[in-house]
Amino acid sequence: MRAGAAGRHVALRPAPAMSEDRVIRRPVLAAHARYRWDKLRDQHQLVFPEGMIVLNDSAAAIVQLCDGRPTDELIAALVAKLKEPIPASELSDDVQGCLRHLVERGLLRDDAE
Amino acid sequence: MTTLNRPLALLAELTYRCPLQCPYCSNPLELGRYRQELDTETWIRVLGEASELGVVQIHFSGGEPLVRRDIYDLVREARRLELYSNMSTGATVVDGTTLDRLREAGLDHLQVSLLDTDPDSNDRLAGTRSFDRKREAVRGAKERGFPVTLNVVLHRQNLDRIEDVIRIALEWNVDRLELANTQYTGWAFRNRAALMPTRAQFEHAQAVVERARSGEAARLDILHVLPDYYQELPKACLQGWGNVFMNVAPDGAVLPCQTAREITGLEFPNVRDQSLQAIWTDAPVFQRFRGTDWLPEPCRSCDRREVDFGGCRCQAFLMTGDAGATDPVCHLSPHHHLVGEALKEAERSDPPLQYRVMSV
Ligand code: SF4
Ligand code: SF4
């Protein structure tokens, strides 16, 4: 196979400029991205062709709910999981920030668009 | 002290057999020497060992991985082990049944190579009629919900059609487009003078890709791998030797890099004799260029040494005869003039392509 096959190169993929106030309404994980728990490393991972990112606990919880449901419902589901519930409005910015980051990396899309 | 990471990726080259004859193929020049392929049982064992060692992704490749009859069993095993599975195919042996079976076995992602957007040129470069089959394979894969990456290796003979490449990627409705400028190892090194783009070609292509990214192709995830002969700094080849990557070749040899066989004097361990774990930790060939302690000057005293690890070992060897030298692509390398000379030679000449031999 061609030599590009295994991430031998550094690829140039600038994050597209995305405005801070963009709101993601129906996040769906990209078809080529898969969440996985790595038991050897004790890590949440989001794996995609030739790469992977390590997720913290909250990002992992978010990613696992990105199935096309509206973001409001996603946040409600997160709140329901918390031991000490906080108002959904307090989570909203953090969730949107995380979703935007994943969209920028091509790992998530907004089904509402 | 260099700490030993667990490997993240395993490139499983199942066979060197291939119906295509791409002139930039990274398979070894002496293909005939490696006809003894591993059997299914051994591959299954290797997948298990890879998983225990911490590998996250398996990339089934070749040659054409689909000429192996046991491919579905191997994909299924990768799935069972919860490994992310990729497959690179030339797509000439793909039909609906193949795709259904791959889907059922749990393949995560399919990469289809395209040599050129002009069907005749594609078929000429591949050494066989394949354009229509590739298009059909992509269509079938998308119908079945596979994420598909279209891989186009760029070089002098197709770079001027970069606009068409993007158009086709959109028309064929792929998810990702990998535009990789040729890396000059393997067959591509032999064909360097015929494949090397001109600076004008490469700059044009770069501008086109940038425009497409923010315009009509915004929904496409485009990976653009720049031609390193036109760069001042080398690539962090595989993120360092023996750091995150290992390659099991069709005969069972384990390589720190898929083109490492080009470096003479290295001895490669084999999964027939040893476990992957033992190879990763102890095999001299994996330790040889691991970390940064082995680096020569000017890398030794350069603050980019943890970034690029001195560049590509195969390239250093092919160009300077010393696999332990700084990658000549680096402007600080004492051999950097070799890059300029190669570019000049490519501008002057237009030799015929030599095609890889050994078909299915
Ligand atoms: S000849 Fe082409 S398709 Fe076949 S293995 Fe080489 S690069 Fe891949
Ligand atoms: S001198 Fe070595 S470490 Fe520094 S940039 Fe060049 S190749 Fe990289």
Mean pLDDT of chain A: 82
Report the complex ipTM.
0.85
Q: Which of B312, B326, B333 to mutate to test the pocket of ligand 2 (most atoms within 8 A of CB)?
A: B326
Distance B218 CA to ligand 1 centre (A): 29
Do residues B155 and B232 lie in contact, with contact meaning Cβ atoms separated by under 8 Å? no
Compute the nearest-CA separation of B344 from chain A (Å): 24
Nearest in space to B71 (alpha carbons), one of B34, B43, B92:
B43
Other Cβ atoms within 10 Å of B167 Cβ, number: 15
High-pLDDT (> 70) share of chain A, %: 82
Residue B269 CB–ligand 1 contact under 6 Å: no
Nearest in space to B64 (alpha carbons), one of A2, A3, A1:
A1
Q: Taking 70 as the threshold, does the pLDDT of residue A15 lie above it?
A: no
The partner residues of B133 in beta bridges, in order of sequence, read: none
Q: Which two tokens stand for residue B332?
A: 């600080």
Nearest in space to B38 (alpha carbons), one of B15, B60, B20, B21:
B15
**B304, amino acid identity:** R
Distance CA B358, CA B61 (A): 16
Nearest CA in chain B to A32: B147
Distance B26 CA to ligand 2 centre (A): 25
Nearest CA in chain A to B218: A16
Rounding to the nearest 10 degrees, give the CA dihedral for residues B166, B169, B173, B174.
Answer: -120
pLDDT at residue B149 in the model:
95
pLDDT at residue B2 in the model:
52
pLDDT at residue B112 in the model:
95
- Give me the residue label for tokens 């060992």: B49
Nearest in space to B353 (alpha carbons), one of B201, B196, B195, B229:
B195
pLDDT at residue B201 in the model:
87
B237/A13 touch (CB, cutoff 8 Å), yes or no: no
Distance B203 CA to ligand 2 centre (A): 24
pLDDT at residue B24 in the model:
80
Q: Cα–chain-centroid distance for residue B96?
A: 26
pLDDT at residue B262 in the model:
86
Q: Taking 50 as the threshold, does the pLDDT of residue A10 lie above it?
A: no
Do residues B174 and B136 lie in contact, with contact meaning Cβ atoms separated by under 8 Å? no
pLDDT at residue B30 in the model:
77
Question: What's the whole-number mean pLDDT along residues A18-24?
Answer: 75
Task: Please enumerate in sequence order all residues whose Cβ is within 8 A of that of B149, keeping only pairs 6 or more positions apart, or say none.
Answer: A32, A49, B109, B110, B111, B112, B174, B175, B176, B177, B178
Task: Please enumerate in sequence order all residues whose Cβ is within 8 A of that of A20, keeping only pairs 6 or more positions apart, or say none.
Answer: none
Tens digit of pLDDT per residue, chain B (360 long)? 456 899 999 999 999 998 888 888 888 877 777 779 999 999 999 999 999 999 999 999 988 999 999 999 999 999 999 999 999 999 988 899 999 999 999 999 999 999 999 999 888 888 888 899 999 999 999 999 999 999 999 998 889 999 999 999 999 999 999 998 888 877 888 888 888 888 888 899 999 999 998 888 888 888 888 888 888 899 888 889 999 999 999 999 999 998 898 898 999 999 999 999 999 999 999 999 999 999 999 999 999 999 999 999 998 999 999 999 999 999 999 999 998 888 888 878 777 767 666 544
Do residues A4 and B153 lie in contact, with contact meaning Cβ atoms separated by under 8 Å? yes
Residue B20 CB–ligand 1 contact under 6 Å: yes
Reported as a single tens digit per residue, the pLDDT across A49-101 is 988 999 999 899 999 999 999 999 999 999 888 888 788 788 888 899 999 99
**SS3 per-residue string spanning B108-162:** CEEEEEECCCCHHHHHHHHCCCCHHHHHHHHHHHHHCCCCEEEEEEECCCCHHHH
pLDDT at residue A13 in the model:
44
* Nearest-by-Cβ selection for B226 from A1, A12, A41: A12
